A and B are shown apart, each in its own frame.
Chain A
Amino acid sequence: MSNQEKHWEKSRGLLMITLAIWFIFSIGIFLFGAEMNEVTGPFGYPWTYWFTCQGSLGAFVILIFWFANRQEKIDEEFGFSEREDE
Chain B
Amino acid sequence: MKQGNFIDNLPKIYGIYTGGFIGFIIIMAIAEQMGMTAKAIGIAFVAFTVFIYALIGYLSRTAQADAYYVAGRQVPTVFNGMATAADWMSGASFVAMAGGIYFKGYGYMALLVGWTGGYVLVASLLAPYLRKFGCYTVPDFIGTRYGGNLARFSAVVVLTVASFTYVTAQINATGTIASVALDIPFQYAVYIGLISILLCSMLGGMRGVTWTQVAQYIVLIIAYLLPVFWISNKMGAGFFPHFMLADEVARIGELESQFGFVKNSAADLATVPKGLAGITKAHSAVNATPWAFISLALAMMMGTASLPHVMMRYFTTPSVKAARKSVGWSLFFIFLLYSSAPMLATLSKLSLIDPNLSTGIIGKSIAEVQAIDWYQNWNQANLMFISDFNGNGTVELNEFFMGGKAVVLATPEIAGLPYVISGLVAAGGMAAAMSTADGLILAIANAISHDVYYKIIDPKAETAKRLVVARVLLVVIGFAGATIAAMEIQGILGSVIWAFDFAMSGLFFPLVLGVWWKRANRQGAIAGMLGGLAAGTWYLVWVRTGGSGFLGITQLTFGIFGSAVSLVAMVVVSLMTQEPDKATQKMVDEVRVPSGKTILGKQ
| Cβ–Cβ contact A86 & B595, under 8 A | yes
Is B301's CB within 8 Å of the partner chain A? yes
CB distance from A69 to the nearest CB of B (A): 9
Residue of B nearest to A3 (CB): B593
Per a CB cutoff under 8 Å, which of A4, A57, A64, A82 touches B338? Answer: A57
Which B residues are in CB contact (< 8 Å) with A63? 120
Per a CB cutoff under 8 Å, which of B123, B245, B593 touches A75? Answer: B593
Residue of A nearest to B601 (CB): A86
Q: What count of chain B residues pass the 8 Å CB interface test?
A: 53
Stretch at the interface among B318-326, B350-358, B434-442, B561-569: B318-326
| Cβ–Cβ contact B593 & A30, under 8 A | no
Contacts A44-B246, A48-B286, A57-B112 given; does A27 touch B298 at CB 8 Å: yes
Which A residues are in CB contact (< 8 Å) with B455? none
| Cβ–Cβ contact B321 & A72, under 8 A | yes
| Interface range on chain A (Cβ under 8 Å from partner) | 35 or more
| Cβ–Cβ contact A30 & B290, under 8 A | yes
| Cβ–Cβ contact A65 & B594, under 8 A | no
A35–B258 Cα distance when bound, in Å, is 23
| Cβ–Cβ contact B301 & A26, under 8 A | yes
Which B residues are in CB contact (< 8 Å) with A86? 319, 595-597
Stretch at the interface among B140-148, B227-235, B327-335, B385-393: B327-335
| Cβ–Cβ contact B124 & A60, under 8 A | no
A52–B110 Cα distance when bound, in Å, is 7
Is A19's CB within 8 Å of the partner chain B? yes
| Cβ–Cβ contact A43 & B244, under 8 A | yes
A73–B247 Cα distance when bound, in Å, is 44
| Cβ–Cβ contact A33 & B119, under 8 A | no
A68–B324 Cα distance when bound, in Å, is 6
Which B residues are in CB contact (< 8 Å) with A61? 116, 328, 331-332, 335
| Cβ–Cβ contact B339 & A58, under 8 A | yes
Which B residues are in CB contact (< 8 Å) with A37? 284-286
A7–B242 Cα distance when bound, in Å, is 42
Which A residues are in CB contact (< 8 Å) with B595? 75, 79-83, 86
A81–B596 Cα distance when bound, in Å, is 9
CB distance from A84 to the nearest CB of B (A): 9
| Cβ–Cβ contact B589 & A4, under 8 A | yes
Is A39's CB within 8 Å of the partner chain B? no
Is A31's CB within 8 Å of the partner chain B? yes
| Cβ–Cβ contact A45 & B113, under 8 A | no
A19–B249 Cα distance when bound, in Å, is 32
Contacts A4-B593, A43-B246, A60-B116 given; does A33 touch B106 at CB 8 Å: yes
Is B294's CB within 8 Å of the partner chain A? yes
Residues of A whose CB lies within 8 Å of any CB of B are: 4, 7-8, 11, 15, 18-19, 22, 25-27, 30-34, 37, 43-46, 48-49, 51-54, 56-58, 60-61, 63-65, 67-68, 71-72, 75, 79-83, 86
Residues of B whose CB lies within 8 Å of any CB of A are: 106, 109-110, 112-114, 116-117, 119-121, 123-125, 128, 242-247, 249-250, 284-286, 290, 293-294, 297-298, 301, 319-321, 324-325, 327-328, 331-332, 335, 338-339, 342-343, 589, 592-597
User: Can you list 12 A-B contacts with CB-CB less than 8 angstroms, sorted by A residue number?
Assistant: A4-B589, A22-B117, A22-B120, A26-B117, A26-B301, A31-B294, A43-B244, A44-B246, A52-B106, A54-B339, A67-B120, A72-B324
